[in-house]
Structure 1
Amino acid sequence: MKQSELTLEMSRYEKGSVSRINHFLKVYAFAKAIGEGEQFPSELQDILETAALVHDIGIKPSLEKYGSSAGEYQEKEGPEAARVMLENLGYPDELIKRVCFLVGHHHTYQDIDGQDYQALVEADFLVNIFEGNMDASGIREVRQRIFRTATGTRLLDTLYL
């Protein structure tokens, strides 16, 4: 699927928050690279790329509703916002269902089920490590505890270790 329309819609949705727009664009780029590097089938790649673009869509409603963008609130509020946006853009139901699952679990690191989930988590970490100024010991711990794909691990090592 072409992701340009979704990229524009997410940019409109996040209008005024350059940092959130930059964040989802960076996560998208890393997710795309991981999926392609791991040779995901096209359907799985589409799910991953779509999820990467909308993974933090729950921040805005979380801030409005709870005054916080904590991961638990993002996971609670994000799936419905993603579903509405993806339905309005004409995405297929099965893709929407999986993307909403990923949006609702992208801060949950145990019981990762699926290559798309793994790649999304790794892509998000690649960006969050930089944005959060994680120190070397934290990066090594995340590498050991979270990273499983060869491509994601190579990117982590190249960028940070």
Structure 2
Amino acid sequence: MTTAEIARKMVAYSNGNRHDVNHFMKVWAFAKTIGECEGLDKASQDILEIAAIVHDIACPLCREKYGNTNGKYQELEGPALVRDFLSDSGLPQSAVDRIAWLVGHHHTLQGIDGPDHQILIEADYLVNVDESGYSRENVENTLERVFRTETGRALLRAMYL
């Protein structure tokens, strides 16, 4: 299954929730942009992009089960959903494992494990800052404390500072 086919499948999985679809499509675009500009190898880029597409796969379940989409709930519920969602994708098990791990850590800012993890966090934040209306102070602090890629930092500055 191609990355675009996985995105199409995720749109269907989102069951008409346009916010969820728009969110993951934007995160995917930022992840793709940052990853390519930062020179990720093809395998890492593919894993990153798929993780960006499915990173919020647990949101519908979390809304139903917990009444909200708190990041920690997403990290708890997401990996099993990802494994099931990608079971027919034809991806190597090692790729599915990494994608599931990334989804289970996409709100974890401590101990960032690899460029794919860093970029996923940056891409998600770039979308969340707009969707949630974060303050300038929040953006400045996140730029200083979280963003590490040249591309992510440049995008954040150009868009919000």
TM-score by length of 1: 0.97
* Cα distance, 1:89 vs structure 2: 2.0
* Cα distance, 1:135 vs structure 2: 1.4
The answer for the alignment partner of 2:109 in structure 1 is 109
Structure 1 residues 94-129: Cα deviation after superposition (integer angstroms, max 9, x where no partner): 100000000000011000010000000000000000
The answer for the alignment partner of 2:135 in structure 1 is 135
Q: Which amino acid aligns with 1:45?
A: Q
Which residues in structure 2 correspond to 1:8-157 (within 5 Å)? 8-157=8-157
Instruction: Tell me how many residue pairs correspond in the alignment.
Output: 161
Q: Which amino acid aligns with 2:145?
A: R
Seq. identity, %:
47
CA distance in 1: counterparts of 2:144 and 2:114, whole angstroms: 18
Q: Which amino acid aligns with 1:132?
A: S
1:79 counterpart SS class? helix
Runs of at least 5 residues in structure 1 that lack an aligned partner in the other structure:
none
Runs of 4 or more above 6 Å deviation:
none
Q: Which amino acid aligns with 1:130?
A: D
Farther off after superposition, 125-134 or 83-92: 83-92
* Cα distance, 1:140 vs structure 2: 0.3
Runs of at least 5 residues in structure 2 that lack an aligned partner in the other structure:
none
Structure 1 residues 18-75: Cα deviation after superposition (integer angstroms, max 9, x where no partner): 0010000000000000000000000110110010000000111112222221111100
CA distance in 1: counterparts of 2:129 and 2:66, whole angstroms: 25
1:88 counterpart SS class? coil
CA distance in 2: counterparts of 1:90 and 1:65, whole angstroms: 30
TM-score by length of 2: 0.97
CA distance in 1: counterparts of 2:108 and 2:114, whole angstroms: 13
How well do the aligned residues superpose, as a CA RMSD in angstroms? 1.0
Q: Which amino acid aligns with 1:52?
A: A
Q: Which amino acid aligns with 2:9?
A: E
CA distance in 2: counterparts of 1:68 and 1:125, whole angstroms: 18
